[in-house]
Structure 1
Amino acid sequence: MQQAFLTRKFQFGEQSVVLALPDMDMLKTQWQQGLQPAEDFPFWAKLWPAALGVCTFLTRYPDYIKNKRVLELAAGLGLPSLVAARQAATVVSSDYAMDCLPYLQQSVLLNGLDNVQVRLIDWNKLPADLVVDTVILSDINYDPSVFPQLELLFNQLLQQGITIILSTPQRLMGKPFLMSFMPFCVFMETVTADEQEISVFVYQ
């Protein structure tokens, strides 16, 4: 699929980040002409408020990522990865959708980052070679059908002593998942992004 890169600049505190974005009109046309039905238009192509929210959180509380080996799962356009890279030792920016990887890589190049690796990763099967301290996830607990897989992922990460940072809108459907891991929550803050209240949880 041909990529058309647009760019948008974001400011978080004193940090500015340039993000590579798809041309949505072109992407919609290509998607509709492909094998996938139009209603399956990819979620990765949109910048969600939860991603903006966790970026604000990371600039306020950099100790969770400073000099750490950071992994962003289901990164989509990867804005949190770019923000984390200014403080982290290394960042793996990943998604299970191959089509978003060129945009991730373009953003890495635009920001001149040499400590970010872009990878194709499915959270249901984390690569054996991954060694991380902190995992970032934003807006992933919206579909109750995937809660069992997410619970397995969270338990696996926590058992390995990995810190999880989860950013999520305040959706009722996501509450049961959040409540199940409250015993592991060591910090929580609410931030505003795109006029939405976003909850950011830190689990250890």
Structure 2
Amino acid sequence: MNKLTNEISFGACLDMPDPGSRVEVDVEGRTWILDRAADMEALWDRMDADDMGDDERLPYWAEVWPASVLLGRHILRNADILAGRSCLDLGCGLGLTGMIASSIGADVVAFDYEWPAVRFARHNAELNNVPQPLWMLMDWRDPAVKAGAFDFIWGGDVLYEKRFFEPLIRLFRHALAPGGKIWIGEPVRTVSRPVWDELRDRGFAPKKITVEKVALCGQNPTVNLWEIHIT
């Protein structure tokens, strides 16, 4: 198979839902159905160095992460304050938290770095019969959103590499409205520990607001939820 044929084949596999890879996720009593092309490991096995590129674009978007489930719980628990408010979903993946927020009346912009994620997120919102968020293809290193536009910003498990700290801090400062809040769902990861002190040094006030177990796909990991605002 030549390189062009391989690229077309791999791109096609990302664009088609695989019924055998459908995931059902319970969040506060509602089951959300999430279609995807395949699970992350299966997609990873099909990739070569050219598919990953310089940014090591691994298909993390194809998984449902426990941190996003906890964020979904928190969004539902705060439905009264989110309805009608402008919200930014970082790294939307398959669309779980964006859909949950849209279902309770939030005005959601949700983005991912990978086109298949945006495509499947939109498909999943239709599948779950919720109003479509504004799905965007965007790199958080170069945010294409208006300054101070969002009352709430959230992301699930987005601090898994130190190289993301600086661009995310810049995005927070750029996009958060005065008095706004940031919610970060974070599994217990050693790599993310330094970011909280770094945020404090940069004029943010992070605090851990809950620690919960999240049952998902036969596992029950512990997840932290942080709330951050600008001091």
TM-score by length of 2: 0.76
Choose which of 23, 40, 65 in structure 2 pairs with 1:8: 23
Q: Is the 8 A contact 1:70 1:88 kept in 2?
A: no
Choose which of 123, 147, 166 in structure 2 pairs with 1:148: 166
Q: Is the 8 A contact 2:206 2:227 kept in 1?
A: yes
Partner of 1:136: 154
Partner of 2:143: 126
Question: What is the alpha-carbon distance in structure 2 between the residues aligned to residue 185 and residue 119 of structure 1?
Answer: 27
Partner of 1:166: 184
Partner of 2:206: 185
Partner of 2:36: 21
Q: Is the 8 A contact 1:89 1:115 kept in 2?
A: no
How many residue pairs match? The answer is 203
- For 1:80-111, what per-residue CA distance to the aligned partner results, in whole angstroms no more than 9, with x for missing partners? 11111121332122101112221111101112
Q: Is the 8 A contact 1:90 1:115 kept in 2?
A: no
Q: Which runs of 5+ in 1 are unaligned?
A: none
Shift of the alpha carbon at 1:163? 1.7
Q: Which runs of 5+ in 2 are unaligned?
A: 1-10
SS in 2 for 1:199: strand
SS in 2 for 1:102: helix
Question: What is the alpha-carbon distance in structure 1 between the residues aligned to residue 141 and residue 57 of structure 2?
Answer: 21
Residues 31 and 160 of structure 1, relative CA distance in 2, 3 Å threshold = farther
Residues 29 and 82 of structure 1, relative CA distance in 2, 3 Å threshold = same
Partner of 1:85: 102
Q: Is the 8 A contact 1:167 1:199 kept in 2?
A: yes
SS in 2 for 1:21: coil
Amino acid at match of 2:43: L
Seq. identity, %: 20
Question: What is the alpha-carbon distance in structure 1 between the residues aligned to residue 195 and residue 80 of structure 2?
Answer: 26
SS in 2 for 1:108: helix
Shift of the alpha carbon at 1:137? 0.8
User: How large is the Cα RMSD of the aligned pairs?
Assistant: 2.6
Amino acid at match of 2:226: F
TM-score by length of 1: 0.85
Residues 104 and 61 of structure 1, relative CA distance in 2, 3 Å threshold = same
Tell whether 2:75 aligns with 1:36: no
- Poorly superposed stretches of 4+, deviation over 6 Å: none
Q: Is the 8 A contact 1:57 1:191 kept in 2?
A: no
RCO (CA 8 Å, sep 6+): is it higher in 1 or 2?
Answer: 1
Shift of the alpha carbon at 1:158? 4.5
Amino acid at match of 1:76: G
Residues 157 and 64 of structure 1, relative CA distance in 2, 3 Å threshold = farther
Which of the pair has more CA radius of gyration? Answer: 2
